[in-house]
Amino acid sequence: MKLPVAKLASSGRRPWVSVVMPSLNQAQFLETAVRSVLAQDYEQLDLVVADGMSTDGSQELLVRLQREFGSKLRWVSQQDDGPAQAVNAALALAQGEIIGWLNSDDMYAQGAVTRATDQFASHPEQQLVYGLAQHMDAAGHSLGAYPTRPASAGLAGFAEGSFICQPTVFMRREALAQVGVLDESLKTAFDMELWLRFFKLFAPQQIGLVRHLQAFSRLHPACLTQRERRQVALEGMKVLARHLGTAPAHWFWTHVDELCASYPLGPDSSPLLKQLERFINEVKGYLEPQTLEALATQLRADARLSLAKPGLFATVQPDGWVSKRVDVKYHWQDQPASAVVMRCAPAWPVPCKLRLRVRLPGGQVQTLVIEGSDEFVLSFEVPPMGRSGCTVWTVETSQSFVPARHEAGSSDKRSLSFKVLTLEAQHEPARKQPMFHG
């Protein structure tokens, strides 16, 4: 798809800026996003919204806003195959010399457009500029700064993750025409893939950083990057392999950590090892053979995976150690176990008396004292909650040791409390289970 050649005339020396906005059922945030564009202190500006046939009142909202803002706001509503296609549809209607791109759940900081055009004016060699950003939640509360880096990080810098926050980006129209529009085969990584093409076509000095807060990127359960974590990992590795030759192993481990964090209470109820096997098969073409071998070795030694059972997981560290807290999560279908049994070992380098607080599903707290260095067993009775359900037990302690302070040559500075050796769901006739026995 080619961008239209026609441009709107600029007033004076200021270039005309067109902002494109894809939207689907974002009425909750849409008006805030639109106003953040059209209330900018920059006159030569319009907004093109590509709505994906929303059913939540978004179209009625756009009609009302168009009455208020007139020709500054244009919008279309049509079926699309995802946000990349929606952005491309908006780009086909945009006529500005400078193109901005803001999602309908994000918002510009005041002065963002002026700062971006000033950057282009003072650096005529620059073809794309981006700025600093803040994450925010659904209510608009700050969640911290986006990890932005300067353009000198170069193409290789994307191996660590995208350091450009999409809503802060403004592009010269001619440069975008050279680079090309979004890859519509991608559902989540289309923005990073576009940045990679910019960095391959233009030198780092042709890409500029506005060192001011330019936009707010909203994170909420319904947003694409939060909802489609597996797709984010797959496509991120895919585009890095496409442009850099291979995907770094840490992208793989980030998703493994996410799988472990959500299992077994996440959207995928299949066994954790099955989920992991599918993921490996999908990404193995993006990794170098020696990287795959190293990953296989690490996975075999990962206690989180060896302890995990269908529907059962303990939030230990990869070597099985607990740092002051462990959650035991159990999700069952059909017939639940009568108890979940976790065998542990203090394994302290010095004698200790370990005090544990166990928080039960009903909110009650039991306190246990483990004396000596012998193994001990925690047995958690599964509450009667029907033929399917889920529950979580939390074990906490304020006591820990640091291996580096006790073991010669150790560089391990973690605070460790006890190690989990086995984890089992015990299917026996219902009977009273002791919480602890040694």
Query: pLDDT value at position 136?
Result: 95
* Spatial separation of the C-alpha atoms in residues 73 and 63, rounded to whole Å: 10
What would the pLDDT profile of 358-397 be if each residue is shown by its tens digit? 999 989 999 999 987 889 999 999 988 777 889 999 999 9
Query: pLDDT value at position 435?
Result: 57
Instruction: Give, for all 438 residues of the chain, the pLDDT tens digit.
Output: 656 544 444 445 799 999 999 999 999 999 999 999 999 999 999 999 999 999 999 999 999 999 999 999 999 999 999 999 999 999 999 999 999 999 999 999 999 999 999 999 999 999 999 999 999 999 999 999 999 999 999 999 999 999 999 999 999 999 999 999 999 999 999 999 999 999 999 999 999 999 999 999 998 776 555 457 889 999 999 999 999 999 999 999 999 999 999 999 988 888 999 999 999 999 999 999 999 999 999 999 999 999 999 999 999 999 999 999 999 999 998 888 999 999 999 988 888 889 999 999 989 999 999 987 889 999 999 988 777 889 999 999 999 999 999 999 999 999 999 999 999 999 875 444 445 544
In the CATH scheme, what architecture does the domain 17-225 have?
Alpha-Beta Complex (3.90)
Q: Where are the domains of the chain?
A: 17-225, 246-301, 307-404+412-437
In the CATH scheme, what architecture does the domain 307-404+412-437 have?
Sandwich (2.60)
* pTM score, whole prediction: 0.86
Query: pLDDT value at position 427?
Result: 83
